Amino acid sequence: MVRARWDDADAAREVSTSGPHPTPVRPERVDVGAIEYLAEVLATAEDEGRADDFYGRLCEATTKFTSLRRAVIFRYDPPRRRVRLAGAFGIDVREFEGLFVTVESAPIARRALEQDQVVLEPTNEFEGLQSVYAARLDIDCLVCSPMAARGRWIGVILGDCADAAEFDDSQRELLWLMGKVAALASMARVATRQHDKALQLQSRIDLARDVHEGVIQRLFGVSLALSSSGEIDDAMRRRCAAEVQAALAELRAAVSRPLGRSSRRTNTTLIAELERLRHDHPDLLITTDPDAQVAAPPELEDLAQSVLAEAVRNAHKHATPTRVEVRTEDRDGSFVLEVINDGVAGRGPVSGMGLRLAAFEALQAGGLLEFGAREPDRWLVRLVVNRGDQA
């Protein structure tokens, strides 16, 4: 299991795969009923609204067709930039609340991903987080199957069984296959997101072309007419006015389109993102007002989390911060998020491209993102969105 550093282990993975490693056993036959059930479960992955249900049903399938008693799936979630519990069966998910895991804290996950095979580990060999949760959840033998596709580490399926001897080669094969199915579903969603990005890029190209072929050409014609040496009669004046009005109408329609990227859905909360940032930056004191709760309206959660993450990232990249203050409030019917960091003195302008892109995100939501230096030695990022525009 890993968090935002799945890909940080690429170098280790290349070293581990350069030499010989155990070849997983591949029996000739896997239960046909299990394959049919997996196909049915995979079909639900097409419905984005049932993503978590898909992983939960996949966990249920592992217990239905193998000797595993319980199962959980951990996968890397790019929008949240961390590993999260994607699905579970037979276990209380609250056991894993607030858990931050990496390949270093869960060695069994690293071995399964590096070797691309199912790994079994008895209780007496547990280490790291595994030993902590073994006692808490009464685990006898831990089983880990990799979720990987074309060398990309996506996540793992974890389960436990009472006796390692009961987990035979056919069950290993089936669990390995389930990991591939889960990886396939995740990669399909990645492909969908890439397609959406391509559509956004094409829309921007279309916007530039429409402005050039419509607005600019009309205004160019008007400028030629007005710069001519001859007198302008009433008919020409009316024609120029009509062209300018048409150009304004086309420009108004053009700028009403989305101006930039949209914030990706995270399905989490602003306070959870704040905790993630605290975990990722232990050297940075991220504080909030003890008398006020940090929260965002549901319709603005994705935007607020994006701005918060970018503000902290900008502070680390362009300043030498030791403290970041975060606060939210409802001010005259508007949602306000403010992020203030120190460490700006003597460094000049500290705004990066990320904040400029975030400003376009805010515009799409009908809001405004402002940022700049504040005295003494402070940098402020403020997001303001009128709640009435979100109704």
Where is the domain boundary, 171, 192, 213?
Answer: 192
pLDDT above 90 (res 328): yes
Where is the domain boundary, 192, 216, 237?
Answer: 192
At residue 383, the pLDDT reads 94
Where is the domain boundary, 152, 168, 192?
Answer: 192
Residue 150 lies in a domain: yes
At residue 263, the pLDDT reads 60
Q: Which domain holds residue 113?
A: 7-192
Tell me, letter by letter, the H, E, C secondary structure of the chain. Answer: CCCCCCHHHHHHHHHHHHCCCCCCCCCCCCCHHHHHHHHHHHHHHHCHHHHHHHHHHHHHHHHHHCCCCEEEEEEEECCCCEEEEEEEECCCHHHHCCCCCCCCCCHHHHHHHHHCCCEEEEHHHCCCHHHHHHHHHCCCEEEEEEEEECCEEEEEEEEEECCHHHCCHHHHHHHHHHHHHHHHHHHHHHHHHHHHHHHHHHHHHHHHHHHHHHHHHHHHHHHHHHCCCCCCCHHHHHHHHHHHHHHHHHHHHHHCCCCCCCCCCCCCCHHHHHHHHHHHCCCCEEEECCCCCCCCCHHHHHHHHHHHHHHHHHHHHHCCCCEEEEEEEEECCEEEEEEEECCCCCCCCCCCHHHHHHHHHHHHCCEEEEEEEECCCEEEEEEEEEHHHHC
Same domain, yes or no, for 244 and 366? no
Q: Where does the pLDDT of residue 9 fall: very low under 50, low under 70, confident under 90, or very high at 90 and above? A: very low
Same domain, yes or no, for 350 and 233? no
Residue 262 lies in a domain: no
Query: Residue 320 sits in a domain of what CATH number?
Result: 3.30.565.10
At residue 20, the pLDDT reads 44
At residue 28, the pLDDT reads 47
Mean pLDDT value across residues 344-357: 70
Same domain, yes or no, for 14 and 152? yes
At residue 218, the pLDDT reads 87
pTM of this prediction exceeds 0.95: no
Per residue in 77-132, pLDDT tens? 766 667 778 888 888 777 676 667 666 677 888 888 888 889 888 766 666 555 66
